[in-house]
Amino acid sequence: MFGRIIVGRRYIKIILLAVVLIPLLHQLIVLITRGKEHTGYNIPKLQDKVPTLQGVNDYFKNIGNSAQNATETPDDIVDAGEPVVIYPDVSDPEILADLPYLKADGSLNKYFFSKFVDHDDNKKARKVFQENNRLYADYIMEPIDEPKVDNLQRPSEDYKLANATLLSLVRNSELDGILSAMEQVEAKFNSKFHYPWTFMNDVSFSKEFKTKVKAATESEVHFITIPKKLWKKPIFIDKDLEQKNIDLMLANGVGYADMESYHNMCRFYSGTFYNIPHLQQFKYYWRVEPDTKYFCDIDYDVFKFMQDNNKSYGFNINLYDGPSSITKLWNTTMEFLEEHPKYLNPNGAFQWLLEDMQNPEKNQIAGYSTCHFWSNFEIADMDFFRGEAYSKWFEHLDNSGGFYYERWGDAPVHAIGLGLFEDKSRIHFFRDIGYHHMPFTNCPNSDRCDCEAGKFVPWFSVEKENCMANWVKYGMSEDEKNMF
């Protein structure tokens, strides 16, 4: 008798459970079906269904649309009879990370920036490095010549220069080093075009420095003393907090952590150099550092190349950074983006910044890949840095005190700014310009160059600091890949 009662109760429980679950399962199936068609869970399928329109649909920028920031509200688009993409009302970070970086109301989906698209828990960092190292070696060893464009400008009589200058921040004590670099840049490039040189220092240049530098070129030379307001540490920096963080950085092996002039230099090159009155007249600059080496003959105008091919930034070495110097840089940037998501470029190099497979420990400490363009060589358009997005972002960084409470370098700052606010197709790899700054080298496989083709660094243990393969995979446009 008791056995029958027990069986009966079990059947009753099963029946009651079925009554409750069947309607819930039905609702779930309906929601999933609708989500695939309307809410963006299946992003590639959704992109096929949604036409490229100005408005709410522009918030799906990161999956192929290239329209500018939207000006209409969702209601405007509904009134116009256009389809409105509904952002799913979910709170699961795993789901949100797979959705576009902007929500339908234009606010930031911060979870998008927490997940690298090709993250694979089953793949070891060593394997990823081996694959990337092979990709880089195969890529850099391809024989090349000049960029394959039909608008390269050659020197000629009465040649009209672009609005540009060769630029160097240098101390009087670095005279021999800058003369060596000048000699090479003049021989390889500038003796053919005669672009002006601009030298900057936070103190006055010596008579000897000026005399010898002028003798090293036939071009115009300008010597600039940096205004103190653009160089000195801001007065709001908390000295006690600064010293506490300096001690922490020194304990973690961060170089130059206790050198105020180095912090000043990083801040200056990150966001104030282009505001020097003398530089206001120029659009482009080529940064030249003391004791750097240049290996290749350059017979075309690199500034006109930038101008005529719609490029805003040029580099030739791509590296990971030491994360202990920038532990708060990414989070401080995310704070800015939550307030100003409109500044994000729909074709930004987001995945290059989010990559977390080759050196995952860097991402764990800094919050992003730390990949950056090594800025001791850069040919760039100062109008990008002077633009609203970069300027407001730099102001936010500066107000946080991170250039002194940590050791934020100009290279990671430039790279994050470019990766978020610039169209990645406007960033150019000057693969044909052989260059060395201890210890890293870019040496193309070209008859124009006198260096060891493919050489990157003398020590294999440091090869993993090369982020160029990730730029090829996640940052380089098809036009750029076909440039050489």
CA angle 305, 309, 313 (to 5 degrees): 75
**Is the CB of residue 154 less than 8 Å from the CB of residue 299?**
yes
Residue 142's contacts (CB-CB under 8 Å, 6 or more residues apart) are: 445, 484
- Amino acid 478 reads E
CB proximity list for 343: less than 8 A, separation 6 or greater: 337, 388, 389, 392, 393, 420, 421
Which residues face 329 on adjacent strands? none
The pair of structure tokens assigned to 319 is 């590296």
What is the Cα–Cα distance from 415 to 440, expressed in whole angstroms?
18
Q: Is 218 a catalytic residue?
A: no
Q: Which of 174, 186, 355, 378 is catalytic?
A: 378
Could you give the residue numbers annotated as active site?
Answer: 378
